[in-house]
Amino acid sequence: MRVPLAVTNVLEDPKPTTVGGLVEQHNPDLWQRRHLAVLDALVDAARDRGLLLLLDVHRLRAGTRSQQLWYDSAVPETSLVKAWRVLARRYCDAAWNVVAADLFNEPNAASWGGGASSLDWAAAAERVGTEVHAACPRWLLMVEGVGDVAVDGTPAVPHNRSAPGTNLPHNWAENLEGVAHRPLRGLPQHRLVYSPHVYGPSVAPQDYFEGGDFPANLPAIWDGMFGFVRGSAPVVVGEWGGRLTGTDATWQRAFASYLTSRRIGSFYWALNPTSGDTGGLLLDDWRTPHAEKLSLLRGLPGSEAGARHVYRNKT
């Protein structure tokens, strides 16, 4: 499970006004607990079920959607690092089932390996990842891609690749083309995982979803955008999903086949039904599974065997 968090919630540890939308009805024991206590409860419940967790710093501030970089004027990079240190102190030794850190979610207006140093996500990921690794050496370090254009208007990736995905528009965090020229060498390679986000027509429409060769055109595009990286480093897709209807259903089935053929792991977005543009793996009652989505996901590469192994040895 990938668990989204906000820097300010980790550092300030407030009492949430809502947890997942239905906390009062379905989890009254969590009501009015502080943020980190709710996270503790989730970690413990996942542990008891043999589930592994990826912690994801998803926002600078809870409730905001306008972030473009891994910092802003109110929440600097030092605060991001501080939040990771809080999480590492809390879970590195005490929670074996927390296994990975997604350093920051969708720095969509950053660059990769070029332009202003203040916009270079590749360099920042090395800085932040080094701090996270020092705080918890056993965690995997998940690094997402960038978008198309940096906040200063320059191309996010300064060097184009002569590959099918090159020069096509990317969704947020989908663009790992810069790794071809600027791989992350400043992080421990045995812990580094590249983690693009990939979405289809119902979430992020693109012209190449409308072509006459759709969906046969997609594997070559995905290879050019991020799939090529798996020749030199692990790739795990951090988000994909959607409503699973119409053209989007065609796209999702094509992407599931791609993940299987390339042996790429993934996290499907989202579990909760309140994700407005994708829906959830649960229906609106928060209890009934979305049978068609689960059927789609059933054949994908997963970590169930690994989770059972760790769970058995730790108990």
Catalytic residue numbers read 106, 239
The span from the CA of 98 to the CA of 77, in Å, is 23
DSSP structure string for 98-131: EEEEE--S--TT-BSSSS-GGGBHHHHHHHHHHH
CA atoms within 13 A on the CB side of 144: 29
The span from the CA of 153 to the CA of 258, in Å, is 32
> Dihedrals φ, ψ of 59, to 5°?
-145, 155
DSSP structure string for 197-208: B---TTTS--GG
Contacts of 225 (CB under 8 A, 6+ apart): 145, 165, 168, 170, 174, 175, 176, 177, 196
- The secondary structure of residue 258, as a DSSP letter, is H
Tokens read off for 40: 């503790």
3-state secondary structure of 85: helix
Could you check whether the bond before residue 158 is cis, i.e. omega within 30 degrees of 0?
no
> Dihedrals φ, ψ of 76, to 5°?
-75, 170
3-state secondary structure of 54: strand
The span from the CA of 144 to the CA of 109, in Å, is 12
3-state secondary structure of 307: helix
Which residues on neighbouring strands pair with residue 155, listed in sequence order? 149
